[in-house]
Structure formats: C-alpha cells, structure tokens
Structure 1
Amino acid sequence: MKNEQLSPSEIEKKAAALAAVEFVKNGDLVGLGTGSTAKYAIEAIGQKVKSGLNIKTVATSIKTAQLAASFGIEVMDLSKVGYLDISIDGADEFTKNLDLIKGGGGALFREKIVASLTKNSIIIADSSKLVAALGAFTLPIEIVPLAYQYAFEEIEKLGGKCVLRKADGEIYKTDNGNVILDTDFGLIKKPENLSMRLNQIVGVFAQGLFIGLTQKIIMAKENSVEVFEK
C-alpha cells in the first residue's frame, strides 16, 4: 500500500511501525501486537522474513496469528514461551511517562502477557494517541461472564461508567470467551492506583491500563518520528 493512498493518520502509523521493525534482529523471539497500527509492523516483518530474516513469533490474538501466517511468519504457541526479545504493538492512548491504555481491539489480556514477557516492549503510535493524562479513551476491562454483575457494580463503585461492548449488534466476546466493559473514569489522575484496585476485583480477567510494561514508544508525527524512553 502506497503512502499517497493513506490518510495522514495511517501514514503516521505506518512510519512508526517501519521504524520499530528496524529493531528486530535475526534469531529474535518477537511478540506481534493486534490492531490497525500493528498490522503495518506485521506486514513489514513478513517482507523481511521473505528476504531471509530468521525469527519466531507469538501473537496477541487469533486474528494476528492468522495475519502473520499469511505473510509466512512462524507463529508459536504463547503458552510455550518464557521470554521474548522484542514485541511491537499499538496503544489507544499513551503519556510521555510510558503509561498506556490498550484493549480497543479486544486483545488486552494476551497483549499484557506479551508485554510482561518482553525484554524490549515497543509501542508504535500516530500522534493522536499522545495525551497529557489517560482517560479520554474509555478503559477496556475484560470480565469473566459468571462474575459480570458483581464486577460491573464494583467497577462503578470506583467511579467508572460501564458500557458492555457489542459488535454487529451482538455482545462482543474476546478470544478467551469473556466480555468487555468499556469504562469511562474521566481523566485518570493516578493510573497505577486504579490499576491495582481493578486487579483486586473478583471477575476482572484483565484491564487495559499498562503501567511499567513499556520500554520504548515510537510515535510518528507528520514527517518525523519521535521516541519516548525512560
């Protein structure tokens, strides 16, 4: 796909993805993200594999695994992997101190596993994803259906306004068979504190606050690429 056929935001996504792929080395174990930005990285990695790059990967979703396989990329079972050299994924929002909201694509649980396993977790983003404080994007929270009502009420006690995610008029189900509450907390002043409190709620399978899990964010803005690191 040529850049002139892309919108400005898509051009930025692709530029960030191409910059991140340059960090992938021969022999690496690579985590592949899910979503509209990550797809550009997967496509670029596929081109490198065709040119002789020797890597193994794990995928953060069934959809990503299928996409990677279509480009000839070897995909391993995530449960068989104890570490990853590098992962490349997108984000719904990020701050300059590398806090994220993820899960808009519904793959937050596996994305969090991959980020936790990764030595060099790279987030790629267009410039619209940079925010001063998290919370403009609703926070995805994956819930075990059996505990739905309890978790819903406990999350609302924390100040969240929950909406059950639907797709094509049906209740959305994750690859894990769970549901997602897209939850509005307003601007989140203390994301680490909220993350810990959500993790304590019985029935919360995963939540989309990624705190302390990212080593590098590569953001494209117009004709330049900016890197955020700690």
Structure 2
Amino acid sequence: MTADDLKKQAAARALELVQPGMRLGLGTGSTAKHFVDLLGERVAAGLDVICVATSEATQAQALSLAIPMSTLDETPELDLTVDGADELDSALRLIKGGGAALLREKIVAAASRRMVVIADDGKLVGKLGRFPLPIEVVPFGLEVTRRAVAKAIAEAGAAGELTLRKRPDGEVLVTDGGHYILDAHLGTIDHPEALAQALNIVPGVVEHGLFIGLAAMAILAGAGGLTILGAAE
C-alpha cells in the first residue's frame, strides 16, 4: 500500500465526521486534497454543506467539484476543519506550512469548533522539529526579521539554519498573502510552546507553523490500519 493510499484512507475516515448542514474548513496539501475530492462526491450525491478554503489552490479544487464555498467574513464560525500536517506528536502539537498556506490554515483552524488532522502515520514523531518549521514573514526588513527570528529560536532553546524558501525555478516563493517563508531547520524542538511564544512577538513575523492547542483529533493511516489520537467525537 502506497503513502497515497494511506492518505486516502485517513481522508475517508474524516469524511464520516461530516454531517448535513455543516460549515467546513478545507485544508491544503496532498492529504487534504483527497478529503476535498471525496467531499465533492458526497456533495454531488446531495450533501448540503458550506465550506471555506485555506488556500487559493484548495478554493480552485473545491469550485471545480461544485462544492459550495464561502469566506470567513461571510461564515466566521466553522463546525469542523479537516487538514493535513507535516508533523505531529502524541499531544497533537503540529508543524504545518510545507505547502506555504500556514497563515490561512491557522486562521481557519482557529475559527473552527473542531480541527481534525489527517495524515499517514509516518508524520507522527516523538518530538517535533525533524520537518523544517515554516515562519511566514513580511518582505520588508527581511534581514532584520531573520536575525530577530534566529535570536528568538536560540532563546527558546533551539538552534538551526534559517533558509528563505524558493520556488523550483529559483525565485523567492510568495505566499497567497504576499509574504515570504523562512524555514527553520532545527532537528528537534524541545520546548514548542516557548518557541511559539517567542516567535509570536517578533516584528515582521506574520505567523509560524507551530499549531498548538488547535487540533482535537488526528486520524493516522498505516499498514496496520487507522490510529485515532484525541477525542473521537
């Protein structure tokens, strides 16, 4: 069974949580894409939902499947958000942002009564940090912000290289919000809460990929089946 098959399994299980009339947040990334595809099939069969996307890519995918879409301005309270994760630990702390959508993903998750993570079980780690931590920053004063971010990381007890994320063509990647991303290659994050707080107060940092206290449940698919972390309902 391939990793893609596992992602489809997790997405299918998450779809069971969707009830008619729900207001849904739709995540971004390869696993979330499967969820949106499956949701589109349910909508075509008559399921009544209204959805908010976490990225322009997800918005385009959902519209192509005729899924009814809204915005957070029109629908500021959501019942459920289903999204992937680049990494998670047993306490449901996440690293997200590999797809460069972390800002909108966190805004949507925070507007939701419940966030459910779907992933293959290879994303579960004993300690966060193996996946580079994305930090979304404004382009103005980039070097000043980079230095302040490095200092905040050190003060939180972590260390590692900061790299400016670029597109495959070598140009600087620009997020949907018009920002840049610094990826912090830390290896391990011993104190995620302390690091999150330190990054929150750096001028120039728009958002970071540490999602703490947002996910209520994770559905992880592996060769042995599905594993559920957190509250099943």
So what's the TM-score if we normalise by structure 2? 0.94
Secondary structure in 2 matching 1:20: helix
Question: Are residue 77 (structure 1) and residue 77 (structure 2) matched?
Answer: no
Shift of 1:80: 2.6
Q: Which residue of 1 aligns with 2:205?
A: 204
What is the aligned counterpart of 1:96 among 80, 90, 96? 90
The 5 A counterparts of 1:12-161 are: 12-157=6-151, 158=153, 159-161=159-161
Secondary structure in 2 matching 1:37: helix
Shift of 1:160: 4.2
Q: Which residue of 1 aligns with 2:3?
A: 9
Mapped to 1, the partners of 2:6 and 2:223 lie a distance apart of: 7
Q: How many residues align?
A: 224
Question: Are residue 220 (structure 1) and residue 214 (structure 2) matched?
Answer: no
Shift of 1:78: 2.5
Secondary structure in 1 matching 2:189: coil
Which amino acid counterpart does residue 46 of structure 2 have in structure 1? G
* Alignment gaps of 5+ in structure 1: 1-6
* Alignment gaps of 5+ in structure 2: 154-158
1:161-199, Cα deviation, whole Å (9 max, x unpaired): 210000121100000000001111220011011000001
Q: 1:79 to 1:149 in 2, by over 3 A?
A: farther
Q: 1:223 to 1:71 in 2, by over 3 A?
A: farther
Secondary structure in 2 matching 1:31: strand
Shift of 1:8: 1.4
Q: Which residue of 1 aligns with 2:156?
A: none
Mapped to 1, the partners of 2:43 and 2:134 lie a distance apart of: 33
1:62-85, Cα deviation, whole Å (9 max, x unpaired): 000000011110111233322110
Mapped to 1, the partners of 2:6 and 2:86 lie a distance apart of: 14
Higher share of residues assigned strand: 1
Shift of 1:123: 0.3
Which amino acid counterpart does residue 187 of structure 1 have in structure 2? T
So what's the TM-score if we normalise by structure 1? 0.95
Which amino acid counterpart does residue 78 of structure 2 have in structure 1? L
Q: Which residue of 2 aligns with 1:4?
A: none
Mapped to 2, the partners of 1:48 and 1:105 lie a distance apart of: 26
Give aligned-pair identity as a percent: 44
Shift of 1:217: 0.3
